[in-house]
A and B are shown apart, each in its own frame.
Chain A
Amino acid sequence: MIRSKGGALATLLLLLPPLALYVGVYLLPMLAFGGASVDNGVLGQRFPRLAAWAASAAPVDDAAAVALLADLGVLRPEERAEAARMLNQDQPGFRSLIMTTGNAAGTIGPGLAALRSFDARWAEDRFWFSLRQNLEPVTWRHFRKALGLGLSPDGGITRVEGGDIYLRIMLRTLVIGFEVAALTVLIGYPLAYAVVNAGPRLRGLVLGAVLLGFWTSILVRTTAWVVLLQTNGLINGLLLRLGLVDAPLPLIFNRFGTVVAITHVLLPFAILPIVNVMRQIPAAQRDASRSLGAGPIETFLRVYLPQTLRGVAVGGGTVFILALGFYVTPALVGGPGDQMLAYYIADFMQKQLNWGMASALGIMLLAAVAAVLALWFVPRLFAAPSARRP
């Protein structure tokens, strides 16, 4: 395209519709989604009197009790219930405490003693501590929970016993992604080689198989693996008939089934970049190497393989990134120990009605993807021209 005077304006006009769509239904929604991880609007607005108490360093006293009852008294029942549910995410049992106290707010005498005689749980520090921490319009409690951290009474950050569950799930997600990436590269490399270097028949067969897989619904491919791998499925039937095993092997609803199924789904994404790189290698090079006395294996290892590593890196990296976000496949063929971060995001979103946690975990997942892009792809992108060694 030629650039000319006045072209800048025209270019801008051309870019306007796509930019509008990207900003409107991509960037802004992503920002809003991210905001949900720290948004504490509900708790931040509904307890103005108690928030004033919480902001001061005052101890749990009569004034706190009065402020709490006054705030609860003016809330509509459904507002109270929503706030109660959110506080319950922080402290178990808080929901019923807020609900019963709120329903009786007008009848409880002023002062802390009256409140505690109404419900003895108000003598527990944890509830007051939780109120003190959670009445700001912005909260970090979802990120703390995602990272397995808590607050100590003196305001410091502490590690929560057994709270590192989401970090462990993140690690599991990375491990599965890595296993899948490695497998796709291992299985995909020879296929890519065949696509580029084999005769037209084999090339057509491999290309057809790759593309067929590429275009077949993920759900169908996952179902196929269920049929193959289930306890009385075809593979177990075959193994039993051959006498290789005495009892069916557990091949599905575990890590093995999950990794195999995801590998199958993502294999084309590893093959295509490798093919692209292999295509650029002139056949004459190999002949030159051979004529200089190198054997076929040496030629492959020292001349061919190094030149294809860029394709391997791009293919493997792409698969890794795509695998990190998997949700449907593990849900259908994985066990409870194989669910990846996306499963928990959906769970918090749909079942537990905790959008803050869904958002915090989503940001964690995005951060992982961004890190891979920054550390793996960007250096290769800039190194690309010089990567072609003779």
Chain B
Amino acid sequence: MALSVGFGLAFLIVPLAIVMPLAFNGGSYLSYPLEGLSLRWFGAVLHNPPWLAAIANSFRVALGATALALVVGGLAAIGTMASRRLTAIVLWALFVSPLAVPSIVMAVALYFAFARLGLNGTYLSLVIAHALLGAPLVFVSVLNSLRGLPPELEQAAASLGASRWMRFRTVILPLTLPGFLTGAIFAFVMSFDEVVIALFLVSPETQTLPIALFAALRDRLEPTLVVVALSLTLLSGLLIFALARLRRSAAPLGKDQ
């Protein structure tokens, strides 16, 4: 058992641990041995406008997509929760289903659709497409926290005369906030890391970071790309940390998490 855990851990970590030091490679190869240590590739990224623009685009798209996914996924979850059992099952299947559609199929379908609307190559097309992938994640996590709520809470609020909106704002939303936030983080990272759909929908102005990475990967394997990767991983690390903190603070509410 210990051996297989060790193997699994090595399998997970070693590739990442191996590739990261290449960001500091003095030479221009993406291979070992390192030709001296240098920060030149960090400088190359910082002074290269396309990388910076791609990073800015990724944030812009991911924030927009997360916002839209929160509204859509959140409303879907609340609506599904309030539906009858059979309807709820159908709605659940519908709202979760984008996760099962192969991204290439989604990409081609959206490419056609947005082409028809004249939206290809715009931020809006990317935001909507990524929101469509983020919404199921928000939906699932909000639904989970809604299920964890004791129904008496809302009944109590209702018996005190609180209106539907009032009950939502003062009781449900605060209690399901961790669900919304978890969903938001998932949706954000999903958008930030999405390649295939963006590949079909970006234009030069809207190029996102994964697309810039993909182009760099096929173009020339230089340490710049590891520099960007390292920064992304650090960002992910921060998000994981935030997520862990959230989980902890949400623990008393989550029933069976």
**Chain A residues near B (Cβ < 8 Å):** 1-3, 7, 10-12, 14-15, 17-18, 21-22, 25-26, 28-30, 32-33, 36, 187-188, 190-191, 193-194, 198, 202, 205-206, 208-213, 215-228, 230, 232-234, 237, 264, 267, 280, 321, 324-325, 327-328, 332, 342, 345-346, 349, 355, 358-359, 362, 365-366, 369, 373
Residue pair A224, B83 in contact (C-beta under 8 Å): no
The answer to whether B102 touches A216 (Cβ under 8 A) is no
Given A325-B102, A327-B196, A212 and B240 touching (CB < 8 A)?
Answer: yes
A180 to B91, CA, bound (A): 31
| Chain A residues whose CB sits within 8 angstroms of the CB of B111 once the complex forms | 349
B147-186 toward A: CB 8 Å interface, digit per residue (1/0)? 0000100110010000010000000100000000000000
Nearest CB to that of A324 among chain B residues?
A: B102
Q: How far is the CB of A272 from chain B (nearest CB, A)?
A: 12
B32 touches A220 (CB 8 A): no
Stretch at the interface among B3-11, B36-44, B45-53: B3-11
Of the residues B9, B82, B151, contact of A7 by C-beta under 8 Å: B82
Q: Establish whether residues A25 and B214, one from each chain, have CB atoms under 8 Å apart when the complex forms.
A: no
Given contacts A28-B113, A215-B189, A230-B31, contact A264 B15 (CB under 8 A): yes
Our pick among B31, B155, B225 for the contact of A2 (Cβ within 8 Å) is B155
Task: Please determine whether A26 and B82 come into contact, CB atoms closer than 8 angstroms.
Answer: no
Distance of A370 from chain B, by nearest CB (Å): 8
B12 in the interface (beta carbon within 8 A): yes
**Would B102 and A220 count as touching, CB distance under 8 A?**
no
Which residues of chain B are within 8 angstroms of A224 by Cβ–Cβ distance?
A: 15-16, 18-19
Task: Please report which residues of chain B, range 129-147, place their CB below 8 angstroms from some CB of chain A when the two chains form the complex.
Answer: 129, 131-132, 135, 146
Chain B residue nearest to A186 (CB atoms) is: B4
Q: Once the chains bind, are A11 and B112 in contact (CB under 8 Å)?
A: no
A261 CB → nearest B CB, Å = 9
Cβ-defined contact, A327 with B31, below 8 A: no
Per a CB cutoff under 8 Å, which of B19, B131, B217, B237 touches A332? B217
Q: Within 8 Å of chain A (Cβ to Cβ): is B86?
A: no
Complex A-B: 5 CB contacts under 8 Å = A21-B128, A25-B128, A190-B5, A212-B16, A212-B237
**Shortest distance in angstroms between B134's beta carbon and chain A's nearest beta carbon?**
11
Whether B109 pairs with A234 at a CB distance below 8 angstroms is: no
Nearest-neighbour CB distance to chain B for A345, whole angstroms, equals 5
- A15–B5 Cα gap in the complex (Å)? 45
Give the shortest distance, in Å, between A179 (CB) and chain B (any CB). 15
Enumerate chain B residues within 8 angstroms of A369, measured Cβ to Cβ: 100-102
- Give the most central of A28, A227, A332: most B CB within 10 Å: A227
CA distance A228 to B19 in the complex (A): 8
Contact present for A328 and B164 (CB under 8 Å): no
- Residues in A whose Cβ lies below 8 Å from that of B158: 2
| Interface residue B61 (Cβ < 8 Å from any Cβ of A) | no
Docked pose: A253 CA to B9 CA in angstroms: 24
CA distance A222 to B68 in the complex (A): 30
Alpha-carbon separation in the docked complex, A264 to B11 (Å)? 7
Q: Identify B5's interface contact among A206, A226, A321, CB under 8 A.
A: A206
Once bound together, how far apart are the Cα atoms of A22 and B133, in whole Å? 11
Across-interface contacts of B8 in A (CB, < 8 A): 187-188, 190-191, 206
In the A-B complex, list the 9 residue pairs whose CB atoms are closest, starting with the nearest. A325-B102, A215-B236, A29-B113, A33-B109, A224-B15, A15-B79, A224-B19, A220-B229, A18-B76
Partner of B131, one of A21, A205, A359: A21
Name the CB-closest residue of A to B103. Answer: A325
Does A14 lie within 8 Å of B82, measured CB to CB? Answer: yes
Give the distance in Å from the alpha carbon of A220 to the alpha carbon of B214 in the complex: 9
Q: With A1-B82, A33-B109 in contact, is A218–B12 under 8 Å at CB? A: no
Looking at the assembled complex, report how far the CB atom of B255 sits from the nearest CB atom of chain A, in whole angstroms. 12
User: In the bound complex, what is the Cα–Cα distance between A22 and B233 (angstroms)?
Assistant: 32
Contact partner, A366, options B9, B105, B131, B232, Cβ 8 Å: B105
Q: How far is the CA of A230 from the CA of B31 in the complex (A)?
A: 9
Q: Considering only CB atoms, which chain A residue lies closest to B80 in the complex?
A: A15
A23 CB → nearest B CB, Å: 10
- Which of A14, A29, A325, A366 interacts with B78 by CB under 8 Å? A14
B75 on the A face (CB < 8 A): yes
Q: When the two chains form their complex, are residues B31 and A233 in contact, meaning their CB atoms are under 8 A apart?
A: yes
CA distance A355 to B112 in the complex (A): 10
Residues of B within 8 A of A264 (CB): 11-12, 15
